[in-house]
A and B are shown apart, each in its own frame.
Chain A
């Protein structure tokens, strides 16, 4: 199968402090990859580097085009939706206005209205909350909103930054099953960054283990999941 995202030798730094030391990883077309790692491993930095929010070097091929020199806005327009760390809720706007923000780069009103319906179909709870100020939603609802908002872009690739963070296990299960459906029915490829390895390895097909800015292990999700040594050494579960 061909690759939608192919990253080779990705370096990134904050000022003089280098955080990523040449990462190689990829996401298949229609596939789900996960980057696993502990706090400070460089997971969030990797996603920010991918979508051009920080200085980076190396090659980032998205559907064959090198996007490593492109600005964030242009990368978004190509269909890369980033669900940022901490959900990125626009707290002062209503749920529906948040969703409309997700379609900021699109112009067809009719299509946006249709996708809004689709978003409410995936996340019925958001329909109940459509006129509510988004800052007053619960943590789980805000995470659902963040994912629904990213889908409003009609992305080809979604970058999710610790979607399970701070959520009850039941909500996490629900969210991941929706992600699976979105992936299967709409062929949205995903790169999910997680600490919660147990859950995400059930969903992903490929996994990369990140430790202090280096990829120390990669393989199919099943291989990583079934390898006792890796689990004990890197994933802690």
Chain B
């Protein structure tokens, strides 16, 4: 905002102090690298469904869906500093919202996405209110409970009329609209791609906004945040709501893409997988969600290829190696690498 108006003052002050100001130059250099990487990723993303078979397209779609869910978790954990072991629950609520709307009420699949988002926002916000009293491991336990309870709720007899209980709900695959020359898998891929892009841009804007600053202030120092006049209770609940919204939309997309949901699709392992994706991608670094999504989508498959009987153990070993090599996730690794790069160009 004020950067342009203050450049002259800045250089004057710098001259007085007899120091150079390399930081902004390095920052723009890094921004350029990041932007180029982004454009390349976008191009690959658009070309991929025309170059791969339908199963790979399906896998890539699921990868992006997990990435959207992880993006939501990142807003809560990385930006606001609240921990959740229960995001699988919001994913499940989003998925059931979409499936029930389509199955029971014949609503078009596109309309289920905003609805899943709204419902999950409300559920997340309401869950966030009692969670205000909890921090750290205690919050982890409470969210863990949420993840364990939610799939069982969908099995209950009173809800069976809508949820079909343990039988689950089968959804038919939507065709590409407007006579687009895409098969259903390609269409769902692009739909997810578009939703993911919008979700990412919104998250970026949120983080750069005054609200985003308030969320990060609470993460870094809750007492000081209150001294700045931030209503910490409201913002923490809000973070839970927005985070659940993201994960719920991902869940709805997941239901449409997989075409089948049952309570057992949303085992506690899903919540853990989302946390794994978050940590591997880099807590607090939004683009890391895509890497995290790729990790939880593909690494279990790779582990299975390596050893059918010990796939879980192989996955575990890969994860341990990963945490040993890059403890701060891909985000931390890139930050360190870019930092080293700009330092080198500075000394040159």
- The interface on chain B, measured as residues whose beta carbon lies within 8 A of the other chain's beta carbons, has a size of 32
From B1-9, B86-94, B148-156, B325-333, give the one contacting chain A.
Answer: B1-9
A109 at the interface (CB under 8 A from B): yes
Task: Give A residues with C-beta under 8 Å from B.
Answer: 51, 53, 72-73, 76-77, 81-84, 87-93, 97, 100-102, 104-105, 109, 112-113, 116-117, 120, 124, 127-128, 130-132, 135, 146, 149-150, 153
Which residues of the other chain, A, contact B217 by a CB distance below 8 angstroms?
Answer: 90, 93, 101, 104
Quick one: which of B213, B217, B229 has the most chain A CB within 10 A? B229
B321 at the interface (CB under 8 A from A): no
Residues of B within 8 A of A84 (CB): 221, 223-224, 227
User: Contacts A77-B229, A88-B227 given: A101-B19 contact, CB under 8 Å?
Assistant: no
Given contacts A117-B6, A128-B13, A132-B23, A93 and B229 within 8 Å (CB-CB): no
B216 and A92: CB pair below 8 A?
Answer: yes
Please name the residue on chain A nearest to B26 by beta carbon.
Answer: A131
Q: Mark B223-235, 1 if CB is under 8 A from A, else 0.
A: 1111111110000
A97→B220 CA distance, assembly (Å): 12
Asked if A100 meets B213 with Cβ closer than 8 Å, knowing A72-B226, A88-B227, A90-B221, the reply is yes
Among B2, B5, B213, the one with the most A-chain Cβ atoms within 10 Å of its Cβ is B2
A-B contacts, CB under 8 A, total: 99
What is the distance, in angstroms, from A146's C-beta to the closest C-beta of chain B?
A: 8
Contact A89 to B224, CB < 8 A, known contacts A101-B217, A113-B1, A113-B2: yes
| 20 A-B pairs (CB sep. < 8 Å) | A51-B227, A53-B226, A73-B231, A81-B227, A88-B227, A89-B224, A90-B224, A92-B284, A101-B214, A104-B213, A104-B228, A104-B230, A109-B1, A112-B1, A116-B2, A117-B9, A120-B13, A124-B13, A128-B13, A146-B224
Known: A76-B229, A101-B214. A92 touches B2 (CB 8 A): no
Whether the pair B221, A88 counts as a contact (CB closer than 8 A) is yes
Prevailing SS type, chain B contact patch: helix
B267 part of interface (Cβ distance < 8 Å): no
- Interface flags for B77-99 (1: CB within 8 Å of A; 0: not) read 00000000000000000000000
When distances are taken between beta carbons in the complex, the residues of chain A under 8 Å from B56 are none
The residue on A at minimum CB distance from B226 is: A72
Assess whether B10 is interfacial by the CB under 8 Å rule.
Answer: yes
CB distance from A169 to the nearest CB of B (A): 23
Please list the 4 inter-chain residue pairs (A to B) with the smallest Cβ-Cβ separation, ordered nearest first: A88-B224, A76-B229, A113-B2, A105-B229
Distance, CA A146 to CA B223, complexed state (A): 13
Contact of B228 with A76 in the complex, beta carbons under 8 Å: yes
Residues A90 and B216 in contact in the complex (CB < 8 Å), given A104-B210, A124-B13: yes
A140 to B169, CA, bound (A): 62
**CB of B13 to closest CB in A, whole Å:** 5
B203-222 interface mask toward A, CB cutoff 8 Å, 1 = contact, 0 = none?
00000001001101101110
Kindly report which residue of chain A lies nearest to residue B228, judged by CB atoms: A104
In Å, the complex CA distance between A99 and B21 comes to 20
Q: Which residue of A lies closest to B220 (CB)?
A: A90
Q: Give complex CA distance A52, B216 in Å.
A: 22
